[in-house]
Structure formats: C-alpha cells, structure tokens
Amino acid sequence: MLVQSQRNALWFGTLEYSQWLPTPLTGAEMSPEAWGSGGTLLNGGGWELSSWGSHKVYTFEWPESMGKEIAQVIKSYSDGTWGRGLIYFQDPLTYTTNVLPARVADPSMALDDEGASLVYGVEPTVTATSGWQNFGLPIQGAYYDLADTDEGFRGVEDAVYVTIPEGYTLFLGAFYDATGSGGIFASPQNSNGSIGTAIQLTAKTTGDPQLLSDGFDGYPGVWIWAGKSSSGAATVSARGLVGRLLRTDLSFSSGYGLGGYGEVPYGGVTSHFLQYAYGNWIGGMGNSGCRFSGKPTYVANNGVGGGQVSVAATLREVGSWVYG
C-alpha cells in the first residue's frame, strides 16, 4: 500500500520489519559529523585538520498531536521489538537526488585511508576519472586490486544496505570499470530474511546518455558491494554511484513506453522515470544504518482523542563502521 498522505511519508524500520511513520516536524537536524581539530599557530596563523569521511546524526521531533500508539511504535523500535539490528529509513526529500550513503556515492572518499574502504582489508589507490565533467562525477576514482579477495557476497559486514519503501523502485547508476570478474553488485534482501543472488550493476561510463540503468522493486532492500563473482585476478575502479527512489506505478507503463530500443533500461518506462534518469551526479544524502542514541523522549500533552503526546528521537549513523 502506498503512502496515504504526506503526513505518513517516513519509511522506517529494521531488516525484519519496516513501515510508514508520520513525517517528523520541519527543521529536523540531519547534519554530518566528522573528526576535526584546529587552532592558532605561534606566528598568528591558523591550522585546521578534519576527516573527509563523516557520519550523519538525525534529531527528529514529531507533532504534539501525535497519538500515543504511534509514539509507542517509535519506542518499540528502540526496544528491539522488531529486530535487534540497525534502523534503516529514507528521507523523502532525497528520493530523487541520491539516497546512497556519501562514502558509497563517492568511492574516492576512501582514498589515503581517509574513509572506510568499500572492500574490507583492501586499501584503494587513486585513479583519475576521465570525462567526469559530463555528469559532475568525483574527479578521482578508487582502484581496488581484488586478487586476494574472496569471490561472491562476503557478508553484510562488507556491504551497505539500502532500504526500499513499499510501492517504490530503487534505480541505480554505477560508474565504474573492471577487469576479470570484478564489479559492483547488488544482492537483494528477501522478505523471508535470506539474501538473494547477486546482480552485477551495469558498468556505466561518462559517455552514457543517462544516470540510471538498473531497477529493483519487490524487495525490502538491496545490499550494495564491490567485489568479484569468481576466483582469480580482478580489479574494479569505482568512480561514482547514484540511487533514486521513484514510485513504481508512475515509472512503468504497458507496451513499449518511451524511448527507442536500447536507449532506456526498460521498454515500458514513463516520462516520470525519464524526468529523473538524466542530469548530474549528486553526492550521497542517505545513511548506512543507524542506532538510537538513548531512548526517545515521551511527553504527554493532553487527553484529546484518547491522548496526544510529543516524541523526539536522535539516531546516529553507524552502519559503515559497526563491523570494523
């Protein structure tokens, strides 16, 4: 069932169970945090150091008129009622920009040990991105030598989960090149808790006409990872990724749809899809999974309608580092 209204547009939950929750109040804090230190030199000059990598911290407050039942749902997630793992959600304001975490969208953030590597135990080296101006891609890519890396899906510890809201399709565009069986893959998370067969994402180049190539729907989410599908020597140069969420019923049509054969990823796409399939790459605005920072606050306001309460919660992104 699709979102009933914009009042219930926050897809929120765990690997086991997600649902639509009321949208937090306007002005929600969603800032990145990074390591940094600075000061003043003896000669009066200044110095400043900070990490390229970062994580997000979300501070959500809900309307004072929220019912106590929904307030308890939020607390139940913090209690581990529907899963003891990470909390995953999608900010509806980022659906058509880039819902991927920053370090996945821009693989160059891992260069020089400045951010978490996309392949655990492998330190990438720099590779220039030719024609990056065509999509506004990062000017550098991350080159991974996968000779000593295990083939196939190496586990959730070495992948990033992207949740897919009910009624939506996740469209991905992956700019990379590879040798051997190397590539960037998406492993679907099945509703029964198992992880499906890995699908290698289309290796896009800066000469391609559009951003998006691969679509996923009918799954709670997908695990995105870099690696190889078989043993032997392999490499992958990851340059930039983008993920966009579009309503499934507005993205596909019966028949051949728009666009000539071979010009679009699906013969039955609509003008709604094409509206967001082109344009420039945008940095990742999503997260890799969060944990509650303490428990949500709960304030009883009045007895109207059986009780109205105020709730606030802070969640910190930890997914990319929780297994490190």
Residue 197: inside a domain, yes or no? Answer: yes
List, for residues 237-252, the tens digit of each pLDDT value.
Answer: 999 999 999 999 998 8
50 and 109 in a single domain? The answer is no
Mean pLDDT to the nearest integer, 204-219: 94
What pLDDT is stored for residue 264 in this prediction?
44
**pLDDT for position 74:** 95
- pLDDT of amino acid 115: 84
State the pLDDT confidence band at 5, using cuts at 50, 70 and 90.
low
Same domain, 159 and 265: yes
114 pLDDT above the threshold of 60: yes
Residue 257 has pLDDT above 50, yes or no: no
Q: Is residue 261 part of a domain?
A: yes
Q: What range does the domain containing 231 cover?
A: 92-277
Q: Are residues 250 and 182 in the same domain?
A: yes
Domain assignment of residue 183, yes or no:
yes
Where residue 265 falls among pLDDT bands split at 50, 70, 90? very low
What is the distance between the alpha carbons of residues 105 and 70, in angstroms, rounded to a whole number? 33
In a domain, 284, yes or no: no
Asked if residue 246 and residue 100 are part of one domain, the reply reads yes
CA distance to 20, 99, 162, 163, per residue, from 3 (Å):
7, 18, 19, 16
Judge if 97 and 56 occupy the same domain.
Answer: no
What does the buried/exposed string (b/e) look like for 22-36 if buried means 16 or more CB atoms within 10 Å of the residue's CB? Answer: bbbeeebebeeeeee
Q: What is the pLDDT of residue 324?
A: 55
Across all residues in the chain, what is the average pLDDT?
91
Q: What is the pLDDT of residue 306?
A: 75
Question: Do 255 and 235 fall into the same domain?
Answer: yes
User: 324 lies in a domain?
Assistant: no
Give 2's pLDDT tier (boundaries 50, 70, 90): very low
The three state secondary structure string of 225-278 is: EEEECCCCCCEEEEEEEEEEEEEHHHHECCCCCCCCCCCCCCCCECHHHHHHHC
Nearest-angstrom CA–CA distance, 225 and 160: 7
Residues 122 and 267 both lie in one domain: yes
Q: What is the mean pLDDT of residues 163-169?
A: 96
Q: Is residue 266 pLDDT above 80, yes or no?
A: no
100 & 45 share domain: no
Instruction: Give the pLDDT score at 90.
Output: 93
Across the range 81-88, mean pLDDT stands at 97
203 to each of 17, 116, 133, 238, how far by Cα in Å? Answer: 32, 22, 18, 10
The 3-state DSSP class for residue 139 equals: coil
- List, for residues 22-60, the tens digit of each pLDDT value: 999 989 999 999 989 999 999 999 999 988 889 999 999
Asked, for residue 20, whether it belongs to a domain, the answer is yes
| 295 within domain boundaries | yes
Residues 272 and 293 in one domain: no
290-292 and 36-40 strand pairing: unpaired
pLDDT computed for residue 269 by the predictor: 78
Confidence of residue 262 (pLDDT cuts 50, 70, 90): very low
18: number of CA atoms within 13 Å, CB side?
Answer: 27
Query: Which pLDDT value is given to residue 6?
Result: 56
CATH code where residue 196 lies: 2.60.120
The reply to whether 122 falls in a domain is yes
> Left, alpha or beta for 3 (phi > 0: left; psi -120 to 50: alpha)?
beta
Q: Note whether 260 and 241 are same-domain residues.
A: yes
Q: Closest Cα to residue 99, out of 283, 318, 311?
A: 283
Q: Do both 128 and 259 map to the same domain?
A: yes
What tens digit of pLDDT does each residue of 175-200 get? 999 999 999 999 999 999 999 999 99
pLDDT at 267 over 80: no
> Does 54 lie in the same domain as 145?
no
Domain count, the chain: 2
